[in-house]
Each structure stands twice: as C-alpha cells, then as structure tokens.
C-alpha cells in the first residue's frame, strides 16, 4: 500500500525472485517472463476494512499493564515463536507461545515470527507488536514465497487491521532491532515466572473460554460413545476414538489441547499412552483423556473411563467407584484458602484406604500415607491429582512452588481433579482379576468465592450413569 492507501504494482524485475533461489530446490522452477509481466495485474480491488476490537483485547491490555508495573525500566521481549518443521518443507500447524497469546489476545490467527516488545518510557512502557505484514499481490512474495505469499496460503493480516483488532501499536518485524546485550536487562526467567503466575487467577474472559472448551469436549465424548460399534469393529479402534474426537475438536474448536489418550484394556495402565493403535475389545475398559482447544487457545482436560460392552464387571466397578470416591473427596477438600496440595492429599487418603482393604499393600493405609516412610499405595497411582488448567493444559507450570503446590486456592483458579488406579497387566502384586484394569476420572474445576464448581459435571461420572450413557449412545 502507498501512503495514500492506493495499491501499487511493482515492476516485473522487482517481482522476480533471485535466480539462485530457484536453483536451490528441485521443486521450484524459474518463472517465465510472461508470468512476471502479468501476475500483478487483472485483480479486483480488495476493499480495506477496519475490524472491531476483539473482546479479549481489553483483558490483554490489563495483563500487559501488570507486566509493565512489575518490570519498571526494563525492556521486555516476548516472541510468538516460529513454525516448526515436521518433515522437510512441511511444518506443524503454528501455535503461538502461550505467554505471547495471553499478553496480546492474538489467538489461533497469530503470525509466526511475531514479537511483542515492551520499551521503557516515562509512562511505564510503550508496547509494540512486530510482525511480518501480509505479502499480497503488490509484492513479489505474493507468488514467490510459499511460506507467506497470499497466492499460496491465503489472506494474511495487515498492520493497520491488527492494530485495530488488538488495540496494540504495530510495526513490520523488519523494524525490530535487538539492543546491545549490555543495554538489555536479562529478565527471561523472571518474566517467564511472572506471566505464569499471572495466569493462576483467570479473568472473566478466560473463565468463559474454559467453559466453552469443556462444553465442546463433552460433545466430543458423546461422539465417541455413539461410535462405539464402529470403534470396536476396527482393528485399530483406538485410532477411531482419536479421529472421532479430532473431528469435533476441529469442527467446533481449534484443535486438541494435547495428544488424545485413547487407551483400551491394558493400555489404560500406561499414563501417557498416545500411540492409540490398539483394538477396543468388548469386556475391557477404555480410558479416554482428551480436551478441545477452542479458537482462543484455552483448553479443557477431561478423562472418562468407559466399559466397552456397556457394563462394568464387578471388579471393574469396584475399582471405578473407588476412583470416583477419591475424586469426590478431593472436590470436597477444595475450598478457597486451603493449600492446593490438600486436594491431592484428600484423594490419596481414599486410594490408600481402599487398596489396603483389598490386601494389596504390605503395610497399613496409615503407614502408607506416612510422608517419609510410606508411599506404597502410589505404585497404583504414581501421578498427582491436580494441575492448573488454561491456555496450557498444564498451565502456570513456571510458577514458584509457593504459589502453586504450596499456594492457596483462590477464586478464579481453574484446575483438574484426576485420581486414578492402574494395575498393569504383568503386576504380580495384585490378583489376576485386577491386572490390565486402568481407571481415571478427570474433571475441570473452577474455584469461586462460594467453593468449587465442576465445569464438566454434565459428563457422566458414576458407574451407573456411565452405563446409562453408553446405552443412550448406542441408540443415537
């Protein structure tokens, strides 16, 4: 665009990529002169419009103000990151760094290579978003650069449009110049910690997005239950589970917030089973740990364990209901002002008591719970019960321990409750009927001033309700 806002057409010699660029790849051939003479003509005018400011812009501005106040006089640089290569010249789908997205409000439409810069000023900081402006038909890159050219990848944002959209000053990324090392205070670790702790308390926009993510995820779980016959019929039914959920995530959201765990039978005992290449066999349980990431990049994180045939066996039901009892105890322990780790402790009380009752421990439940000499029950549940949730599935991970595990629950926090029991197929410390059973129940919890709210409570949780859920799903 010229200063007057009129489109300009570069000369053919300005459009042509360097000859050596064409010689470095077998896939790119030189453009003939006729193409260069005509590629920038014959296009209809594209009207320019100024978008309204997006809803999250005001929330992002408050977050930036908090960062500015915490780092007076210091220059801060928050990169979005670049596209990551999957194979040769094929990239993974781009997702901006969570801190960048949180501080800009630029979500699934953020541009790779962008940088948010806080420059110290008398007013605190001048904040500028630098990114590579669109390569439209007025530029040579329009046709010659497959990574940014609009002929290849479609329309991309202009500086002015993003400035209005996000309420942020913008400049072309070429204008960004790194300062000399002695002029920049190294605040990387402190800044990472601060923005992580800033996300411990969610604002109204974030809570609404988390609620949306849970709602879409619930529909994805319903889809899985309805597709159980097709899932069982396929030799790699776990992949069908993954694909069914992916369809919901992409149709109603942005993507999954993490790799789906579709773990049937003994696979459910592997905590991070994402290979998802096994059969789903009637009589087994299938553990599905999945969450939809919505367009704002906020994600749900939910697990349900489902009897493939529609009915729990007596042993499966006993294990399942113990896990639910542990989850309910953790939920009851969660209150404003209590230590975050107390949620885990409450779940462990139940787990230790039940596995001791079943004769699986060499010590009593009380001895197993001893902080120094115990832990025998953890053989069957090695992971923690809760983690913070938000724009990252394991949100706020760089927060200080005293703010996280040793911190107090407060209104606005969103976290998981996810106890489990896992009896691996070759574990000779348990009776044969337990081996190969893996159960986890995971819900997403919002803490309010009046106590916890289970955002995912509508997804069936009790053994009876899960059996009824499967029955309903099979009749859809």
Quick: pLDDT tens for 330-357. 999 999 999 999 999 999 999 999 999 9
Residues 76, 67: contact at Cβ < 8 Å? yes
Specify whether 249 is located in the same domain as 186. no
Tokens coding 4: 């007057």
Whether the per-residue pLDDT at 363 is higher than 50: the answer is yes
Answer whether residue 318 is part of any domain: yes
Specify whether 363 is located in the same domain as 389. yes
pLDDT of amino acid 22: 44
pLDDT above 70: percentage of residues in the chain: 92
Specify whether 174 is located in the same domain as 236. no
Q: Is 375 exposed, middle or buried (0-12, 13-18, 19+ CB in 10 A)?
A: middle
Specify whether 177 is located in the same domain as 312. no
Residues 328, 398: contact at Cβ < 8 Å? no
Answer whether residue 13 is part of any domain: no
pLDDT band at 277 (very low <50, low <70, confident <90, very high): very high
Whether the per-residue pLDDT at 13 is higher than 60: the answer is no
Domain with 397 in it: what CATH number?
Answer: 3.90.230.10
* Domain's final residue, options 142, 167, 197: 197
* Domain's final residue, options 197, 223, 254: 197
pLDDT digits (tens, 9 = 90+) for 408-434: 999 999 999 999 999 999 999 999 999
pLDDT of amino acid 189: 87
Specify whether 245 is located in the same domain as 192. no
CA distance 473 to 350: 31
Tokens coding 23: 């010689």
Answer whether residue 247 is part of any domain: yes
Specify whether 113 is located in the same domain as 77. yes
Specify whether 126 is located in the same domain as 218. no
pLDDT band at 199 (very low <50, low <70, confident <90, very high): very high
140 compared with 374, residue with greater pLDDT: 374
For the residues 70-89, what does the mean pLDDT come to? 93
What's the mean pLDDT when you consider all of the chain? 90
pLDDT digits (tens, 9 = 90+) for 114-173: 999 999 999 899 999 999 887 777 777 777 777 777 777 777 788 999 999 999 999 999
Pairing of strands 124-131, 169-172: parallel
* Domain's final residue, options 174, 197, 220: 197
pLDDT of amino acid 178: 59
pLDDT digits (tens, 9 = 90+) for 240-252: 999 999 999 999 9
Give, in order, the Cα–Cα distances in Å from 166 to each of 26, 106, 157, 365: 41, 7, 12, 55
32 compared with 67, residue with greater pLDDT: 67
Residues 113, 123: contact at Cβ < 8 Å? no
Whether the per-residue pLDDT at 358 is higher than 90: the answer is yes
Whether the per-residue pLDDT at 228 is higher than 50: the answer is yes
Specify whether 344 is located in the same domain as 258. yes
Answer whether residue 25 is part of any domain: no
Residues 392, 447: contact at Cβ < 8 Å? no
Whether the per-residue pLDDT at 12 is higher than 50: the answer is no
Answer whether residue 83 is part of any domain: yes
Specify whether 223 is located in the same domain as 156. no
| Number of domains within the chain | 2
Give, in order, the Cα–Cα distances in Å from 159 to each of 52, 114, 173, 319, 390: 14, 12, 10, 57, 29
pLDDT digits (tens, 9 = 90+) for 101-110: 999 999 999 9
Dihedral of the alpha carbons of 252, 253, 257, 262, in degrees to the nearest 10: 20
Domain that holds residue 95: 43-197
User: 119-128, 166-175, 183-192, 398-407: which has the minimum mean pLDDT?
Assistant: 183-192
Answer whether residue 429 is part of any domain: yes
DSSP H helical segments within 71-187, as ranges?
A: 98-104, 141-144, 150-153, 159-166
Whether the per-residue pLDDT at 52 is higher than 70: the answer is yes
pLDDT above 90: percentage of residues in the chain: 78
pLDDT band at 19 (very low <50, low <70, confident <90, very high): very low
Give, in order, the Cα–Cα distances in Å from 310 to each of 175, 281, 442: 61, 11, 20
Domain with 83 in it: what CATH number?
Answer: 3.40.350.10
pLDDT digits (tens, 9 = 90+) for 428-474: 999 999 999 999 999 999 999 999 999 999 999 999 999 999 999 77
Specify whether 229 is located in the same domain as 375. yes
Answer whether residue 386 is part of any domain: yes
What is the helix, strand, coil percentage profile of the chain, to 5?
40, 15, 45
pLDDT of amino acid 1: 33
Specify whether 192 is located in the same domain as 204. no
Instruction: Residue count of the chain, please give it.
Output: 476
Specify whether 190 is located in the same domain as 271. no
Answer whether residue 7 is part of any domain: no
Q: Record the pTM.
A: 0.90
């Amino acid at each position: 665009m010229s200063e007057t806002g009129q489109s300009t057409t570069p000369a053919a010699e300005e459009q042509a990529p360097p000859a050596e660029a064409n010689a470095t790849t077998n896939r790119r051939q030189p453009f003939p002169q006729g193409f260069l003479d005509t590629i920038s003509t014959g296009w209809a005018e594209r009207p320019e419009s100024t978008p309204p400011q997006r809803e999250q812009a005001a929330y992002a501005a408050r977050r930036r103000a908090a960062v500015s106040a915490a780092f007076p006089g210091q220059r801060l640089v928050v990169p979005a990151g670049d596209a990551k290569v999957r194979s040769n010249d094929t990239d993974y789908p781009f997702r901006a760094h969570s801190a960048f997205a949180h501080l800009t409000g630029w979500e699934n439409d953020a541009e790779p290579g962008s940088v948010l810069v806080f420059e110290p000023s008398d007013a605190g900081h001048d904040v500028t978003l630098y990114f590579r402006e669109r390569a439209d038909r007025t530029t040579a890159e329009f046709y010659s650069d497959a990574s940014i050219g609009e002929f290849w990848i479609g329309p991309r944002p202009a500086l002015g449009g993003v400035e209005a959209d996000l309420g942020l000053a913008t400049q072309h990324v070429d204008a960004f110049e790194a300062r000399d090392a002695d002029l920049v205070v190294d605040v990387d670790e402190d800044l990472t910690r601060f923005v992580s702790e800033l996300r411990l308390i969610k604002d109204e926009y974030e809570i609404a997005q988390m609620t949306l993510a849970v709602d879409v995820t619930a529909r994805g779980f319903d889809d899985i239950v309805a597709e159980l016959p097709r899932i069982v019929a396929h030799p790699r039914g776990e992949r069908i589970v993954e694909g069914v959920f992916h369809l919901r995530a992409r149709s109603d959201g942005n993507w999954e917030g993490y790799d789906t765990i579709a773990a049937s039978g003994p696979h459910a005992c592997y905590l991070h089973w994402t290979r998802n290449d096994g059969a789903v066999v009637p009589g087994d349980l299938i553990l599905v740990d999945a969450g939809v990431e919505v367009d704002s990049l906020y994600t749900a994180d939910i697990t349900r364990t489902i009897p493939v045939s529609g009915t729990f066996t007596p042993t499966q039901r006993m294990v399942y209901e113990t896990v639910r009892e542990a989850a309910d105890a953790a939920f009851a322990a969660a209150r404003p002002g209590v230590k975050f780790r107390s949620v885990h402790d409450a779940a462990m009380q139940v787990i230790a008591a039940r596995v001791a009752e079943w004769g699986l421990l060499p010590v009593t439940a009380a001895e197993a719970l001893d902080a120094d000499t115990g832990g025998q029950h953890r053989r069957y549940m090695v992971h923690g019960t809760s983690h913070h949730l938000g724009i990252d599935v394991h949100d706020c991970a760089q927060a200080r321990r005293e703010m996280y595990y040793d911190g107090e629950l407060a209104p606005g926090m969103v976290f998981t409750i996810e106890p489990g029991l896992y009896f691996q197929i070759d574990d000779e410390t348990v009776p044969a009927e337990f081996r190969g059973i893996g159960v986890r129940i995971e819900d997403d919890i919002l803490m309010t001033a009046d106590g916890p709210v289970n955002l995912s409570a509508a997804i069936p949780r009790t053994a009876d309700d899960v059996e009824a859920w499967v029955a309903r799903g099979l009749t859809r």
